[in-house]
Structure 1
Amino acid sequence: MTRITIFPLPGVVLYPGLQLPLHIFEPRYRAMISDALARDRLIGMIQPQRPEEGAPLFSIGCLGRIGDVEALEDGRFNIILEGESRFRIVRELDVTTPFRQVEAELIEENEDEALAPVERASFEREARRFADMQGYAVDWDQVARLDDVSLINGVSQIAPFDPAAKQALLEADGLNARCELLVQLMQFFGRHGEGDEEGVTLQ
């Protein structure tokens, strides 16, 4: 079991091997960053089930290591969080710190996973359609150079889906399952986003 200081943030997920820029301004989370920097530089990103103070947490998040840090004069921080491992909460701890802490187990990932060529091609085709529909400018040559894990997890992390969809992607068991779900979500949000500002939620 691992004790993890957590940063609950709706609509924000982190994946192992990826980076997440964060601007830290609330006093309790400034205290959290200061504490992490003095210890192991680790914090866990996880979504609350509701966007309210003290809301229950989803069961799965991602442990991140603080990389680059910019400490501002007024006490705020700009940091880059580097994803290390997904984790599953066992229980939330009763603590006196202003930030929440949990006891969790780390989830082992299969680092050798890869998509079949037909799956990769199908995904890229759907991603192009979704990007065009949303008006996103994408460097597809750069996308083509990404390995399968970086591609699927990267799109899952930045995709403009609602918190529940982003959580489902994070919890997906394995690369193939995440890729399949991602295609379904792009099709769903692509359809419902046309002419409907409520259809796709930018987080």
Structure 2
Amino acid sequence: MSAGDYRKTSDLPGTLAVFPLPGALLFPRWPLPLNIFEPRYLNMVDDAMSGTRLIGMVQAMGGDKARPDLAMVGCAGRITSYSETDDGRYLITLTGIARFGIAQELHVMTPYRQVTPDWEPFAGDLVSATDVSLPSREKLLGALRAYVEINQMHADWSAVEEAPIETLVNALCSGCPFTTMEKQALIEAPTLKARAETLITLLKMDVPGNDAGGTMQ
């Protein structure tokens, strides 16, 4: 089954291997390159490649370093690129399919963790955003320009202005130095428009003299 063949939640598996990793955001239709070197996650990739090729990316939310607490919402991606290095690492790319809630974590014998995913709250991820659900590019660019200026950053504005809006939103969500909790808010935003509005709020937090000052809790 290819990435484009998941049309309804019943096409998705009832058990999902998860990779807890803070700060690594995966969204539907968004690629995430990963460098896999821990034995347990090499095992996870081997099993995924021989099965559904799906892995759930979930943010680690503190707790024990060897077994961190899991955020309750993650995003599943399909392995769409795979190579092995001479020193035994895997270089893979996940392409986001759909987000999921964690209904329960399973007691398993595998060295990696597995969950029962609840796909239903995010069934809309399997459908591309329509024009009416897209956020305002002008509003997003205004917040981004102020953020870039105050943080003395550089941006390729021609690329920013030409990028498809979903690509732009996901790139900014993934690339900006937000906290784990702030990034989780972006993952959990129900729609692309809501994700963009959350992103705009986060961008404005760093800009003096606006109404969005502070830190998200």
Same fold (TM over 0.5): yes
- Out of 69, 89, 96, the residue aligned to residue 102 of structure 2 is 89
- Out of 79, 83, 103, the residue aligned to residue 70 of structure 1 is 83
- Out of 19, 31, 40, the residue aligned to residue 19 of structure 1 is 31
Q: Which residue of 2 aligns with 1:47?
A: 59
Establish whether residue 154 from structure 1 lines up as the match of residue 186 from structure 2.
no
Q: Take 1:143 and 1:67, find their aligned partners in 2: how far apart are those partners? A: 25
Q: Deviations over 1:47-106 (max 9, x none)?
A: 122162222211110101111112012321111111111111100010000000000122
Task: State the aligned residue count.
Answer: 189
Q: Which residue of 2 aligns with 1:176?
A: 193
Q: Take 2:70 and 2:100, find their aligned partners in 1: how far apart are those partners? A: 12
SS at match of 1:11: coil
- Out of 26, 30, 33, the residue aligned to residue 42 of structure 2 is 30
In structure 1, the gaps of 5 or more residues are 192-198
- C-alpha displacement of 1:190: 4.8
Shifted more, 60-69 versus 46-55: the winner is 46-55
Identity %, equivalent residues = 37
Q: Take 1:122 and 1:34, find their aligned partners in 2: how far apart are those partners? A: 44
Q: Take 2:40 and 2:80, find their aligned partners in 1: how far apart are those partners? A: 20
Q: Take 1:57 and 1:31, find their aligned partners in 2: how far apart are those partners? A: 20
Q: Take 1:28 and 1:149, find their aligned partners in 2: how far apart are those partners? A: 33
Q: Take 1:108 and 1:151, find their aligned partners in 2: how far apart are those partners? A: 22
> Normalized against structure 1, the TM-score is what?
0.86
Q: Which residue of 1 aligns with 2:212?
A: none
Establish whether residue 99 from structure 1 lines up as the match of residue 112 from structure 2.
yes
Q: Which residue of 2 aligns with 1:194?
A: none
Tell me which amino acid in the other structure corresponds to 2:79. I
Shifted more, 173-182 versus 87-96: the winner is 173-182
How has the CA–CA distance of structure 1 residues 32 and 190 changed in structure 2, closer, same or farther, with 3 Å as cutoff?
Answer: farther
- C-alpha displacement of 1:142: 1.7
Tell me which amino acid in the other structure corresponds to 1:160. P
Q: Take 2:33 and 2:188, find their aligned partners in 1: how far apart are those partners? A: 21
